[in-house]
Amino acid sequence: MISIKNLKAGIEDKEILRGFNLEVKPGEVHAIMGPNGSGKSTLASVLAGKEDYNVTEGTVIFNEKDLLEMSAEDRAREGLFLAFQYPVEIPGVSNINFLKTALAEIRNYKGLPPLEAKDFLKLVKEKQAMVELQGSLANRSVNEGFSGGEKKRNEIFQMAMLEPTLAILDETDSGLDIDALRIVANGVNQLRNKERSFIVITHYQRLLDYIVPDFVHVMYNGQIVKSGPKELALELEEKGYDWIKKEMETAV
Amino acid sequence: MNTVSITNELQTIVDIFESSIDNLPGDAITKANRREAFNKFMDLGFPTKSNEEYKYSTTEKLFKDELHWTSNKQNKLHIDYDFYRNNNTDANHVFLVNGELIHEESELNILNDDCFICDLKTAATKYNSLFEKYYAAQIRNFKDAFAQLNTALASNGLFIYIAPNAQVQKPIQINNICTSNAYQMLQVHHVIVAEKFSNVSMVETFFSEKNSEAYLLNTLSEVYVGQNAFVNYYKLQSENDTAIHINTTQVIQSQQSHFDTNTITLGGKWLRNNLNIVLNGIQCVSHLNGLQLLNKQQHVDNHTLVDHQMPHCESNQLYKGILKDKSTGVFNGKIFVRKDAQKTNAYQSSKNMLLSDDATMNTKPQLEIYADDVKCSHGSSTGQIDENAVFYLRARGISPDSAKALLMCAFAMDVIHTIKIDSYKNYLGGLIEKCFK
């Protein structure tokens, strides 16, 4: 699915990712945890193609293609999806029009004609139900005036519409109450299958009660410093990140 | 044909005025008004840089070429009227070519015999008392050279009269088509009277005919909105790259009346819109909206003036601009709240997007408030396209070009949504989408 090797990247002169390695196979869910400033969101942005970041070293192969050579839109068209930590409000562009345009451009990239209006609306209805998003929200401007929970549900709704092969969830749990968290996790779980992989970035173990990962990685100083099964998340929850930090320091 | 180079040739204009005054529409009283307007024009002269009102829109360069002082009657038979009719609003279409009413192409029967649309000449003879009462009545104290010159010299234009209580269901669309084979100066003057409790919607469009040479179009509309009347007056300026257009709209509202206007500017070389509204009765409502999409070296200057003279009135303004290339825009919004105009609500907002480093937008709100129990606000912003939003859209597979088009369209549509004629709204929506493709 995706193979990240020795990825080094930063913003301006500041290096944030310092030799990041990760291998995700089809159908796997990898959780990336770590303290603030460890580079988790930078990783998400770099993979999605945000141009503010410079990649100085390393390779990222996504479905046998060089991801770093692709524009942000081509990455999305190839099946990569980033659920934003802070979804952007876009006044005046309706959710529906936005998704219709996105879907048409993705299908066009794959050499497919746009969906018939009827089929498109059917799809919208079906996927909306998945994240318990009200119909009226779909007709409203993208994220404008949405509550924190609605914004995150909207991200998962978009993911459901675009059916990516790899979804990166960047702190999708932040700012969610327990009900919204359950809805979002439920949406993600329905989208899990043998082909689709997830990278779930989070601070807290809480989300992983709902989205159970195959692997848990701890990120610190722009690298993965510890990997393990899902139980590692529980250990982190119990001991905090200081334990990892200390381990790192003694290793040095 | 008289030819005149304006800069230092006011004398030539005097000659033209003196030689044509006898043939211009109107009897002795109107002629006296015309002379008065002409004298005012002579006193004012064409605005120069030192004129605060024209600070960002200097007129000197407009007169570098020689102006021809006649109206051109050629080509009008070759105009494809159906093109304008069918591509546009579901309306009673009225056609003016260089200001001259084309009777055979126009639908002038709008409701019943109490309501009429005719040209100025007909109004001056057939409806003389109305004509005397309304023509130039609002322009008297207006210190604008173009308005005075227009009032003095206009022989063309429309007189639209909506009788008391008349409910005109179908919009009236005034299609101005200009065609010039030299640099001509055209004066068009409309008088629109909506009597009390009447209701009318109008769309006025401005197009240059294919292959038209440059012209200077100086139009003026005097609008009377009677007590409890509802008037919508929407304008679309879509002229060619050489067109110069000065468009003045002077409105007076009586009590409890509603006036909505929307000025959409998509084409033209140099445009100046003066929109002046006097709220002369209690509980009036006015909405003034505008949108300009500019490119190349276009220049568009929107000057609005809302004069709150009476209590309990409301005015709302939303002007938006998207400027590309080396285009320049101006929004100058003046609001007066007079001493008696307590409980006034007056709002103004100007929002602009600059898409190039060479585009310029000047905005200037001017609020003068003499009453103490009012709500007034103004806001203005000029910025670039939101790059975070572009990235968000790209991250969903949308190309940068369509992402930008979506965002600009959304920005512009805000103004279009305020229009109350659905067919016109849809037509504009299509035009604007095309602008961003």
Task: Break chain B into its structural domains and give their ranges.
Answer: 3-280, 386-437
pLDDT at residue number A175: 82
pLDDT at residue number B68: 62
pLDDT at residue number B5: 45
CB contact at 8 A, B195 and B166: yes
pLDDT at residue number B206: 97
CB contact at 8 A, A231 and A214: no
Q: Which of B349, B381, B392, B437 is the best residue to mutate to test the A interface, defined by the most A CB atoms within 10 Å of its own CB?
A: B392
A115 touches chain B (CB under 8 A): no
pLDDT at residue number A180: 87
CA distance A183 to A164: 19
Looking up tokens 């879509």, which residue turns up?
Answer: B238
SS3 B375: strand
**Distance of alpha carbon B311 from the chain centroid:** 27
Among B397, B407, B409, beta carbon nearest to A105: B397
Among the residue ranges A130-139, A197-206, B78-87, the one predicted with the least confidence is: A130-139
Euclidean distance between the first and the last CA atom of chain B, given in angstroms as a whole number: 43
Q: Residue B64 carries which DSSP code?
A: S
| CATH, domain A2-251, list 3.40.50.300, 3.40.50.2300, 3.40.120.10, 3.20.20.80 | 3.40.50.300
Among the residue ranges A132-146, A157-171, B237-251, the one predicted with the least confidence is: A132-146
Q: Is the ipTM of this complex over 0.90?
A: yes
pLDDT at residue number B336: 97
CB contact at 8 A, B363 and B331: yes
pLDDT at residue number B2: 41
Q: What mean pLDDT do residues A194-213 have?
A: 92
For residue B385, give the chain A residue with the closest CA.
Answer: A90
* Other C-beta atoms lying within 10 Å of the C-beta of residue B293: 23
A 24-83 → B contacts, CB under 8 A: 48-51, 71-73, 75-77, 81-82
Percentage of residues of chain B with pLDDT beyond 90 = 71
Phi, psi angle pair for A160, to nearest 5°? -65, -35
Which own/partner contact pairs does A106-109 have at CB distance under 8 Å and 24+ positions apart? A106/A76, A106/A77, A106/A162, A106/B397, A109/A74, A109/A77, A109/B397
pLDDT at residue number B64: 63
For residue B400, give the chain A residue with the closest CA.
Answer: A73
B133 Cβ contact list (under 8 Å, min separation 6): none
Q: What mean pLDDT do residues A75-83 have?
A: 97
Mean pLDDT (chain A) is: 92
A94 Cβ contact list (under 8 Å, min separation 6): A138, A139, A140, A141, A142
| pTM for the structure as a whole | 0.86
pLDDT at residue number B85: 85
Q: What mean pLDDT do residues A148-177 have?
A: 92
CB contact at 8 A, B398 and A102: yes
Question: Hey, are the CB atoms on B396 and A49 less than 8 Å from each other?
Answer: no
Q: Residue B46 carries which DSSP code?
A: S
Low-confidence ranges of chain B (pLDDT < 70): 1-9, 63-77, 87-88
Interface of B with A (CB under 8 A): 386, 388-389, 391-400, 402, 406-407, 409-411, 413-414
pLDDT at residue number B23: 86
CA distance B427 to B415: 14
CA distance A76 to B226: 58
pLDDT at residue number B47: 86
Q: Which of A89, A98, A159 is the best residue to mutate to test the B interface, defined by the most B CB atoms within 10 Å of its own CB?
A: A98
Which own/partner contact pairs does A242-247 have at CB distance under 8 Å and 24+ positions apart? A244/A218, A244/A220, A245/A35, A245/A220
pLDDT at residue number A74: 97
The angle that helices A178-191 and A117-130 make with each other, rounded to 10 degrees, is: 130
Cα distance from B54 to chain A (closest Cα, Å)?
34
CA distance B71 to B218: 12
Question: Hey, are the CB atoms on B396 and A87 less than 8 Å from each other?
Answer: no
Bigger pLDDT: A6 vs B61 = A6
Q: What mean pLDDT do residues A117-140 have?
A: 86
Cα distance from B403 to chain A (closest Cα, Å)?
9
CB contact at 8 A, B299 and B326: no
CA distance B164 to B27: 26
